[in-house]
Structure 1
Amino acid sequence: MKLYDCLRAPNPRRVRWFMAEKGIADVEIVTLSIMGGEHRSPEYRGKAGLAHVPALELDDGTVITESVAICRYLESVYPEPNMFGRDPKETAIIEMWLRRTEMMVATPMMQGVRHSHPGMAALEAQVPEVATYNLDSVRKSLKVLDDRLA
């Protein structure tokens, strides 16, 4: 298997953390430069049509994209240690918190960074108000999560 990665991007980082927690070390890592446009190359687009990272290429050529889908696949192939729950209740609670953190923290954080970090200006037009709105939302959401999980 090959994991197409970008060291600075948050979604591939999620997969790398997941692999580290599970002790998965036999997946080849192919590092792409988003700033260099390598994710938009015809070769990579042929594998991962949306040109997003991460992408996991299986030995049979199948390509799985989206970090949670990749992690779920790896969980099935490497079942221990279990990371997605051992029964329906555990699985549902893990999924609930996963979705909450994606919707309440990860997505607005990424939008905030994309619209405020000078290094991201080369990738898309930046709208400062979008950054402010999303980063304020992240701060509020982190407070909610901290209160709930503390």
Structure 2
Amino acid sequence: MSTTTNTKITDIYRSNYISADLMASEGIFIIKSKGHCPRKDFKGLLQEVGQHAKKYQVGKWFLDLQNFSASPEDIDWVVDEWIPKITKTIGCKHYIAFTFPENVIYQFGFSRRLNKLFPSGCLHIMPIAAKAHAVKWLQECDQ
């Protein structure tokens, strides 16, 4: 069983606010936030992630959003434009492990919006309190 300690991790995007790494052999993106993410960084990250997701057919995502915030317009852009585009490019079967801010309303609002975008059985979401369990769940989720 591979873990992040012995699996090659590629740096995809870095800013002061958000970062993305790729575990290509596992097909897993790791996205971490560091506070409020300005539009330039948010869209820059997702454009880079989209290119690599297409190249490597990535369908597993660990979103460490414990400290995340973005403008409502940027969240709408992700849900209304970016997600439909990426699912058209790489398919609709995705596994998402996430840590969210303690704000429960944010958690359920995000999950509900994602579930509306995907046909039944295509999206598998797992809220995870311990970050160490996220990659393990993603490695085992489709076996």
- Larger relative contact order, structure 1 or 2 (CA cutoff 8 Å, min sep 6): 2
Confirm or deny a common fold (TM above 0.5): no
- The structure with more strand, counted as a fraction of residues: 2
Structure number with greater Rg is 1
Q: TM-score, normalised by structure 2?
A: 0.31
Query: TM-score by structure 1 length?
Result: 0.30
Q: Which has the higher helix share?
A: 1
